[in-house]
Amino acid sequence: MTHARPGRPLPTPLPEWFPRGAALLRDPTLNKGTAFTLRERDVLGLRGLLPPHVITQEDQVNRVLENFRRLDSDLSRYILLEALHDRNETLFFRVIMENPDEMMPIIYTPTVGLACQQFGHIYRRPRGLFISAADRGRMVEVMRNWPYREARMIVVTDGERILGLGDLGANGMGIPIGKLALYTACAGLHPRHCLPVMLDAGTNNEALLADPLYIGLRQKRLSGAALDALVEEFVDAAQQSFPGIVIQFEDFANHNAFRLLRNYRDRICCFNDDIQGTASVTVAGILSALRVTGLKMSEQTFLCLGAGEAATGISDLLVAAMVDDGLAEAAARGRCWMVDSKGLVTAGRKDLAEHKRPYAHAHERVDDFLGAVRALRPTAIIGVGATPQAFTRQVIETMAQLNQRPIVFALSNPTSKSECTAEQAYAWSSGRALFASGSPFDPVEVNGRRFVPRQGNNSYIFPGVGLGVVSVQSSRVTDAMFMAAARTLAESVTPADLEQGSLYPALSRIRDVSARIAAAVGEVAFRDGLAGIDRPSDLLALMHRQMYDPDYVSYA
């Protein structure tokens, strides 16, 4: 059954399948709550099921905000918004889109991390598909239980590396739900195009296995060939059930993420946001910072704290950017360094995972991050290792001694994992740091100057990339698309943004920025022969036409 989509005209008279009465009020994709008109109530069997006064969507938004702002904890606010999402999807997205600065930290980072930790205890209603190892051999059947055949974007996780919080098993479902909410809020991907998936392979988290309210499989996590077989069946079932669907791999552990991306990126339309999306938003921030310093990309030296998915993806895209700026690839790689739990990643170490080896350069042993900063004299430090407060006062002061405008990116999520706060970065550098963070921080005043830090959050990138890929029906998602997204995002930062220390645009502009990123991604798809539609005369106009707007439609 294919339902008519909210936000578009419905056939008149309404088709027989269209729900009525209480069934309509229980369908969040069609429910308007107290905004149903009197005529709609007569035609759809709603008389008596709603209070008599008809309320506008604007008044409904105000009621949600009143209740939201009355709550005294972010987790309570998250629960309120998810309850709204489950009750009235159109109103949910209207509230998010009109109040992005207030709402996005609740529906995604940093609050989503706490929500995942508590997921089994705050669980109210199923959303998305829970596919487990117990479903092997019948995944196509499970996929066909999804009621909306228009699905075009899947975000899937196995919950093994949720943000910086580790193995949360099936509780990690909060991440695909949150990511796809951002696809709609930030880039207008229609809600019925979005499918969150938890691929439950078990968990090694003993606390969860002992928790009577844990919602997932109560078994140790599959690994190696067994996990690969589970993912392979899932990918095949997804392609069979939703031909051409895009798959975003999310929060898989390092030892699986690189392998899975390598296995599937040239077979299906997919990407890994932790590797490629994080890289793109980071490179965008660096490009913005260089507009302030006046230096070239090819003149930079980068030091990542962390050597996993994010650090590798960031370094790979930084290398591509430096090559574009005239450096040979080998020289560009030599300007990217990493520090892991054992110290500086160097060529002499014998314990290196495969993904670290391209950035293991000849150098004497360095045991700690401060030592690496002193030895390598980087122009930019990038924290993606979920090591809280690792950018110490000594680290920031050393960076400020080495650079007139030190670039300091504390990108680990949630806030509890941040390498330093905005206030620390600005205060310890005497207001000279060019700062970005993974979680939001309030404006800071240092030496009489007000700084407005902004998040280097993937939500600036992946929604626009997804919109572009879906809109032009691209057969693949490529690194060139993420580079185009990074450059487009950086170009969206205004001189006024830079003057106040903001390396990213305001969230109030996110839909326009996402449309421009989508157009840039579409341009790459057409250039590289990947698009599945005829080229339109105006790519940006196409993207705007595709974007969902959460307004109520008339049913009668």
Look-up of token digits 């924290």: 383
Q: Check if 179 is active-site.
A: yes
- 202 — phi, psi (to 5°)? 95, -175
Please tell me the number of Cα atoms within 13 Å of 359 on its side-chain side. 29
- The DSSP code sequence of 260-313 is HHHHHTTTSSEEEIIIIIHHHHHHHHHHHHHHHH---GGG--EEEE--SHHHHH
Q: What is the dihedral of CA 531, 228, 279, 194, to 10 degrees?
A: 50
Strand order of the sheet with strand 407-410?
343-344, 336-340, 302-305, 380-383, 407-410, 434-437
The alpha carbon torsion through 184, 190, 193, 196 (nearest 10 deg) reads 30
Distance CA 152, CA 184 (A): 12
Judge contact between 165 and 157, C-beta under 8 A: no
Query: Quick check: helix, strand or coil at residue 365?
Result: coil
Catalytically annotated residue among 179, 359, 417, 555: 179
Residue found under tokens 């005829």: 534
Catalytic residue among 108, 183, 214, 504: 108
CA angle, 272 as apex, 267 and 273 as ends, to 5°?
150
108 carries an active-site annotation? yes
- What length is written for the chain? 556
Catalytic positions, written as ranges:
108, 179
